Structure 1
């Protein structure tokens, strides 16, 4: 049986057969041999005499059988013989037995597979290229169905190209590699230009590096896909095509991962927001079960955390960095968590101790923007989530005037006054503050002066400078305020009252980011005022540590 078509080179046939095909002998000499088709030799008689036909042999074993095969072939012209089994003869001895003939070893191939591969290789160039690229893409795309798609894809690329493959981030840190590479030398060459695809050569390694786009930031790149080998002719056209296809699939996988992560984050955010908005009920089994579904347990350390960029870095990019980097860091450490983003800060529920969370932030280093971090009380039941969240918000607010070098505060570190706010609850404190400060116009210069005076630790000169007034003018305003409030700012009890009242007003102004505030009349308790959506049977209950803050200042 003979299959004949147009002519191609033996190198094209080998590429079509794949990496399993092994050519014995001088590859440079044999690779340019013309191939017009194939002929199946049944094992008896002489094969067809045309030298441009590949002789496809049945499984042949043993020295005698192989010697008989080559005895049937004339010494000249030399032929191309395809063995569909791995002979039990050393390669050197088989090479000697073959003489001038080219031998291709194809273990595990059927004769029909070899004939079809040769037929494909000898088709017209356009058809061959299109078919090979299509088969290449299908082969690589199958890797995306694996549990770990990118490692599986790179393993497949390594097999197709017979090369060492690595995926690195933009800083040159290896994410996945199929073997050792001189990465510092390669990255030095890669980063020397802005080209999206580059040929690289370093210390005897030859290869190709393709830039991978970052799915989270338009115009930015995630890293590089690098394929190298110890062959000066690498990569050839087929390997280059495989690398480019793999790069596209890595980018697609990263985008799919990003979409999946966003969907999961939206679900986690919804659960967290529901827990934060929960009225103080001792039981909410359905919501507690949903938290447990994300790996969170009330039997271990569980805390609410608020992360807010510092005032000098309150940008969308800073917020995005917090929302992206912290969950990644928590995931690497295997820490269960939920996260929800607000306009100016992020809220997290984390299953770890405050010390562990602080260490994690330190380990992230410069990848996170400068920010203030508040950590709430330990959560023992579902109704504690809102309280812990309010603690975390109060901690962030308190960090506006921290000791030097401080950018994190935990509920356990609260001062006496701060813990008073946390445990009494904002509604009660705000109602009392409204009554106490009622004689002062909230939009007038007296109230502003009083606020700045306390923010500057009762330093007259510093406060006057910020207000752009003379210090004597500020003294006059403070004296007028003392008269209206009927207090003396030299009395420690009065100072404490004013400080707590101003803090309550400040915290109350943050409340609108979570839910509308219902200002109570002095003659009514805040707990007696029914908020929209609150069950009527709860409206008569005492507030009982309802939490502190319901929003952060934008």
Structure 2
């Protein structure tokens, strides 16, 4: 019987294709064991097609690339179509692309060459093999990432439970695995999602990714007190290097409270109590800002070692007892919204009548009249240091929110 007739490939063709597939597989397999397997894999694919290879994420950001292909133009072609596999040309470049689903989301693999006859011979083999290798590498990295996350959270939990001073050196050795310099001062931090939402693993992953890009060592985990209370994020970071810049970056999307820097690991439980206090202050300020003029999802950052004396004193008092002492003063203002707003703005602008009038779009004499009514209401002059101090302590949260709102309005006006 004759072979190789009709549409069926001959045994020789099948053997040649199998040999080619095994050769490509063997060359790409070597990349998996490299220190940066995705980079090595993409480099090997680019070498095999004598051109370029690119891996994009779902948004078109380049995960890894090798070669000099027009990467932005390639992505524009990919984004214009929903096809899983595409074949097209850009100038002298002949290209094949494939959409692949990996553990960390959808990606696009693109290969390109200036040789017209190479992709018809190697395109399918390269894309099929590279897709399988990428999935394998991604799976290995995903598993390693999960194990690392569990170990990271376990180290953090151990520190939160408290360690004996005599065993600190052993725990510093464990911190070194996560790139913490030995005996560097640390900060504990608590972070919350805006709007009263619960923190999620996605928030944690973004923290991990951003800390890595900033070069900041990080221990982190989700903290859940109960089913009714929104989860927050607990973390430990160095109190040095780029950690401060990273904290400011994090505070753009999360409300953050941090402890004062501490040096002994045995102090970690107390540091987290400080961080919880700082987070409550930050939440209160964010709510006040949002209520005044800010966005509903306003965020804030408070470092407990940087708060003023009034804020620190207020944070140390039992909330119910504090409210009981504040109630008589707040009661006098309950039905006087205009006087309340005037007083808050006056305190926010450091008792400056002209600035208060400008912020409230009224004449300065109107502010003086209202301040006179406040003096009548309380029987105290607004020039009295003791009276002003008591008012500030009672109204600190809305005063700070008003200060931030006025600064925000100024920034918006300047930008416009």
TM-score by length of 1: 0.51
Query: Residue 414 of structure 1 corresponds to which residue in structure 2?
Result: 307
Greater helix percent: which structure?
Answer: 2
Query: Residue 321 of structure 1 corresponds to which residue in structure 2?
Result: 202
Q: C-alpha separation between the residues in 2 aligned to 1:289 and 1:324? A: 24
Q: C-alpha separation between the residues in 2 aligned to 1:309 and 1:330? A: 17
Query: Residue 300 of structure 1 corresponds to which residue in structure 2?
Result: 184
Secondary structure of the residue aligned to 2:125 is helix
- Contact (CA 8 Å) 1:207, 1:234: kept in 2 or not? no
Q: Does 1:262 align with 2:146?
A: yes
Q: Does 1:393 align with 2:276?
A: yes
Tell me the number of residue pairs that the alignment of Structure 1 and Structure 2 aligns: 325
Q: C-alpha separation between the residues in 2 aligned to 1:458 and 1:124? A: 97
Give the counterpart of 1:333 among 205, 210, 214: 214
Query: Residue 223 of structure 2 corresponds to which residue in structure 1?
Result: 342
Query: Residue 245 of structure 2 corresponds to which residue in structure 1?
Result: 359
Q: Deviations over 1:320-367 (max 9, x none)?
A: 3321122122223332221112241221211244x9445336667xxx
Offset of residue 377 of structure 1 = 1.2
Query: Residue 285 of structure 2 corresponds to which residue in structure 1?
Result: 402
Q: Deviations over 1:388-443 (max 9, x none)?
A: 22222211111222164651111222232553477x7xxxx66xx78x69xxxxxx
Structure 1 residues 362, 261: closer, same or farther in 2, change over 3 A?
Answer: same
Q: C-alpha separation between the residues in 1 aligned to 2:162 and 2:314? A: 20
Q: Deviations over 1:153-178 (max 9, x none)?
A: 11221222222112222333323222
- Contact (CA 8 Å) 1:298, 1:379: kept in 2 or not? no
1:148-547 correspondence to structure 2 within 5 Å: 148-216=36-104, 220-221=105-106, 223-278=107-162, 282-285=165-168, 286-297=170-181, 299-311=183-195, 314=197, 319-343=200-224, 344-353=231-240, 356-357=242-243, 359-360=245-246, 370-402=253-285, 404=289, 407-420=300-313, 460=334
Structure 1 residues 462, 185: closer, same or farther in 2, change over 3 A?
Answer: farther
Offset of residue 451 of structure 1 = 12
Secondary structure of the residue aligned to 2:64 is strand
Q: Which has the higher contact order (CA 8 A, sep 6+)?
A: 2
Offset of residue 309 of structure 1 = 0.5
Structure 1 residues 451, 262: closer, same or farther in 2, change over 3 A?
Answer: farther
Secondary structure of the residue aligned to 2:255 is strand
Offset of residue 459 of structure 1 = 5.7
Offset of residue 267 of structure 1 = 0.7
Query: Residue 81 of structure 1 corresponds to which residue in structure 2?
Result: none
Q: C-alpha separation between the residues in 2 aligned to 1:458 and 1:255? A: 64
Structure 1 residues 461, 421: closer, same or farther in 2, change over 3 A?
Answer: closer
Secondary structure of the residue aligned to 1:399 is helix
Aligned-CA RMSD value: 3.9
Structure 1 residues 126, 406: closer, same or farther in 2, change over 3 A?
Answer: closer
Structure 1 residues 240, 363: closer, same or farther in 2, change over 3 A?
Answer: farther
Q: C-alpha separation between the residues in 1 aligned to 2:17 and 2:299? A: 63
Structure 1 residues 418, 252: closer, same or farther in 2, change over 3 A?
Answer: farther
Structure 1 residues 498, 278: closer, same or farther in 2, change over 3 A?
Answer: farther
Query: Residue 28 of structure 1 corresponds to which residue in structure 2?
Result: none
Structure 1 or 2, whichever has the larger Rg, is 1
Q: Deviations over 1:448-499 (max 9, x none)?
A: xx79979x99962599xxxxxxxxxxxxxxxxxxxxxxxxxx9999999999
Structure 1 residues 492, 369: closer, same or farther in 2, change over 3 A?
Answer: closer
Q: C-alpha separation between the residues in 1 aligned to 2:393 and 2:215? A: 45
Q: C-alpha separation between the residues in 2 aligned to 1:138 and 1:171? A: 31
Q: Deviations over 1:120-149 (max 9, x none)?
A: x98433343334324432332221111111
Secondary structure of the residue aligned to 1:209 is strand
- Contact (CA 8 Å) 2:52, 2:112: kept in 1 or not? yes
Q: C-alpha separation between the residues in 2 aligned to 1:274 and 1:142? A: 39
Structure 1 residues 492, 361: closer, same or farther in 2, change over 3 A?
Answer: closer
Give the gaps of 5 or more residues in structure 2: 225-230, 290-297, 338-385, 396-416
Q: Deviations over 1:495-552 (max 9, x none)?
A: 99999xxxxxxxxxxxxxxxxxxxxxxxxxxxxxxxxxxxxxxxxxxxxxxxxxxxxx
Secondary structure of the residue aligned to 2:111 is strand
- Contact (CA 8 Å) 2:252, 2:299: kept in 1 or not? no
Offset of residue 249 of structure 1 = 1.4
Q: Deviations over 1:81-120 (max 9, x none)?
A: xxxxxxxxxxxxxxxxxxxxxxxxxxxxxxxxxxxxxxxx
- Contact (CA 8 Å) 2:248, 2:301: kept in 1 or not? no
Structure 1 residues 180, 497: closer, same or farther in 2, change over 3 A?
Answer: closer
